[in-house]
Structure 1
Amino acid sequence: MNIEELEPQERTPELVDSLAQVWERSVRATHLFLSEDDIAGLRPEVAAGLAGIERLAVAWQDGVAVGFAGVQDGHLEMLFVDAAVRGAGVGRTLLAHAVEHWGARTLDVNEQNPQAAGFYEHMGFVVEGRSPVDDAGRPFPLLHMRLGQAGEE
């Protein structure tokens, strides 16, 4: 697996579509609270986010995109791993890249996705707040997390 950072001008419509498919496979495996209508409604937002986010890293395996992470102003906005490679270290590698190379220190995670929240906690993030709705006002509660410092409880 290798990680490639892509500038906005390098993100072709074909690449964005491929990454949106990774997102969809990931969401179908982990976001069981989303309906088909929710997924269909979110897909254009995901594509726009992929095209415009400040920093984007893509994990490639044998020439195929298997995951991606996006950071804006030190905030991890997105991290998704293809369902076919979950548990293989792709998410851990992408998160480490975002933290080490781009200074990602905060993130929001769906409260209804306990596997993701547990992953981030395992990686050193702590919950520092909660919102009853997502950033668009939809009824998907978010946990606001911050990377803990060494020695913090």
Structure 2
Amino acid sequence: MTQRPPAELEGFVWGRMPAMADLWVEAWQEAMPEIDFEARRGWLCHRVEALLDEGAVIELAVEPGAGTLLGFVCVHPRTGYVDQLVVHPDHWGEGVAHRLLDVAAACTRHPLVLDVNEENRRAVHFYEKAGFAVVAHGTNPTSGRPTLRMERRAGG
């Protein structure tokens, strides 16, 4: 099996928003097929605008040379809260998510914190392997499904 070169990083630009929304819908449909994420596409676009207004940093992972969007992360530097971490399903397990978490950690002096759907066992397992631990339980305000608040200490 040929190993792909590591993803390149670039900052957010609005011209990438359609590709981000496509990637977000596809990744979430793969992770939780029982939810209609296509119907939530507009929510993501409004959420990205709100995140930028709040001072969040959005970094994109792109395929070297081709520029194809592989994933993105949204983090609040003032708190360390990771609002979105999305990787295209074809690139799960290739280190893209780890690279994006490293970028998020470099944007803040706080521990990284995030909420994950408890039913998304693949994501929960990934975060545990990446050094996150469950610190609280909650509920997703949109779906009503149980969530886990996870935190990763510096160097995690």
Fold-level similarity (TM above 0.5): yes
**SS of residue in 1 equivalent to 2:124:** helix
Bigger CA drift: 50-59 or 62-71? 50-59
- Name the residue aligned to 1:147: 152
Report the AA paired with residue 127 of structure 2: Y
Root-mean-square deviation (Å): 1.9
Q: Count residues with an aligned counterpart.
A: 141
Shift of 1:117: 0.6
In 2: Cα distance, 1:70 partner to 1:125 partner: 17
Counterpart in 1 of 2:69? 65
Give the corresponding residue for 2:99.
93
Q: Which runs of 4+ in 1 moved over 6 A?
A: none
5+ long unaligned stretches in structure 1:
none
Q: Deviations over 1:71-112 (max 9, x none)?
A: 123200000101121111111110111012334521000101
2-side partners of 1:150 and 1:100: how far apart?
11
Separation in 2 of the partners of 1:49 and 1:56?
Answer: 12
> Does residue 67 of structure 2 align to residue 56 of structure 1?
no
TM-score (norm 2): 0.81
**Residue 14 of structure 2 corresponds to which residue in structure 1?**
11
Asked whether the equivalents of residues 25 and 38 of structure 2 are also in contact (C-alpha less than 8 Å), the reply is no
Alpha-carbon separation, structure 2, partners of 1:88 and 1:76: 20
Structure 2 unaligned spans of 5+: 1-6
Question: Which residue of structure 2 lines up, in the alignment, with residue 119 of structure 1?
Answer: 126
Matched to 2:150, the amino acid is M
Give the secondary-structure state (helix, strand or coil) at the position aligned to 1:19. helix
Deviates more, 1:118-127 or 1:48-57: 48-57
Identity %: 25
